[in-house]
Every structure is written in C-alpha cells, then in structure tokens.
Chains A and B, each alone.
Chain A
Amino acid sequence: NAGVTQTPKFRILKIGQSMTLQCAQDMNHNYMYWYRQDPGMGLKLIYYSVGAGITDKGEVPNGYNVSRSTTEDFPLRLELAAPSQTSVYFCASSYRRERAGELFFGEGSRLTVL
C-alpha cells in the first residue's frame, strides 16, 4: 500500500516563483490536511479538506491555496513564494475527523525559497 504520497521531496524556488506540492492517498480517506514544520517546532495546519470539493483554512493559510477535486488528491499551491515559506511540508489524511480518527502522514516535501 502506498498510503500518502507527496511530490516533490525537495525543491528550491526563487522569490516570487509559484509551485504546486502534490499529495495523493489511496486509503479512501475523506479528510486530508497540509501542515508545515519549521526547524525545532511542531507542525502547524495550513489547510484541510473534509471531502471532495470542500476545503477550509487552518492556522497559517496566508500565501497558500488548495483544491480538492477528487477524494485521492489534495494539491497545495504556493503563489509568489517568499523566504518565510521555507519549511518542510507534510500532507496527511484520516478516515474520520481528527477528533475520532488517526492521522497518517506523507514523507514530507522540503522547500527552500531563496
């Protein structure tokens, strides 16, 4: 089983460039999430989705956009990349709401903005 798959694993961007981090899960999970992890810190929620066509902001949504056209895919779009967006990004999914379900993570995408 692939679980949660993220691409790319590493990327370097110049200030002002845009890119999309891809996330796919094959567990038929309704709930998907994007987190960022800064050095020495825990994870902070960027956006989440409770099903296809439904997304909502998390704790730190500024500078990002998401879409959820299918159950399997939840891409994260960075527009006009800034150095403050240098981080490790994790996609996660769960079968039920976090309040009742377990969270499973992808392997992460390390993004550097120079």
Chain B
Amino acid sequence: GIQVEQSPPDLILQEGANSTLRCNFSDSVNNLQWFHQNPWGQLINLFYIPSGTKQNGRLSATTVATERYSLLYISSSQTTDSGVYFCAVLTGANSKLTFGKGITLSVRP
C-alpha cells in the first residue's frame, strides 16, 4: 500500500517563529488532508488539498502531486498551535485514508 512519511517527527519552536512541516507519499493520490490534533485529542480539519496552494490565516499548505509531497507552513507560531499534525492521503479506488505518523509540534512561550 501507499507509504506516508512525515518530517520532522518532533519540532520545538519559540513563539513567533515560522515552521515547515513535510508530508511525502509513495504513490499518486486523489485526496490529501492536513489535520491538527490538539493537546486535548481533538482532530481539526485544516486543509483539503490534493493539489495547489491554500491559505487560512497564519497557516498555508502546498501540495505538489507530481512530486508526491505536501508542505504545511505555520507562520508566527502561537502556543495554541501545539499538538500533532497529521497528513492523510487517499489513493486509487478504495475509500481508505492512509495517515502518516504525525509531527509533534511544541510552541514555547
């Protein structure tokens, strides 16, 4: 099946810093989503982005489907950005999203 690798596995930032989170996938995809899991365990849909670039406030995401990667940019990070960021992809005819293992982000005040 498709492999989804996220990097780096852990990231520690000072409040106000910028960061780039990466998601590589091993096959072409029909769907790619970024989720944020906050420290209370809640999963929040950030971007649905099978290709192209989207922006939402301080967050933006770019997927280059032909090169099989997606990037999530966080600018001017805040402590509330802490948590785990998951990339999930769907490929082919099945309905199964494959999740990466996540990137744990800690933003220090």
Interface size in chain A (residues, C-beta < 8 A): 26
Tell me which residues across on chain B come within 8 A of A34, comparing CB atoms.
none
From the candidates B48, B86, B100, name the one contacting A102 in the complex (CB within 8 A): B48
Stretch at the interface among A21-29, A35-43, A66-74, A76-84: A35-43
Q: Does B18 reach chain A (CB closer than 8 Å)? A: no
Q: What is the predominant secondary structure among interface residues of chain B facing chain A?
A: strand
Type the 1/0 row for B18-29, where 1 means its CB is closer than 8 Å to any CB of A: 000000000000
Tell me which residues across on chain A come within 8 A of B43, comparing CB atoms.
90, 105, 108
Tell me which residues across on chain A come within 8 A of B48, comparing CB atoms.
101-102
A103 touching B33, Cβ below 8 Å: yes
Q: Does B76 reach chain A (CB closer than 8 Å)? A: no
Tell me which residues across on chain A come within 8 A of B86, comparing CB atoms.
42-43
Q: How far is the CA of A41 from the CA of B101 in the complex (A)?
A: 5
Type the 1/0 row for A2-43, where 1 means its CB is closer than 8 Å to any CB of B: 000000000000000000000000000001000000001111
Tell me which residues across on chain B come within 8 A of A97, comparing CB atoms.
95
Interface residues of A, Cβ cutoff 8 Å to B: 31, 40-45, 48, 50, 56, 58-59, 88, 90, 97-105, 107-108, 110
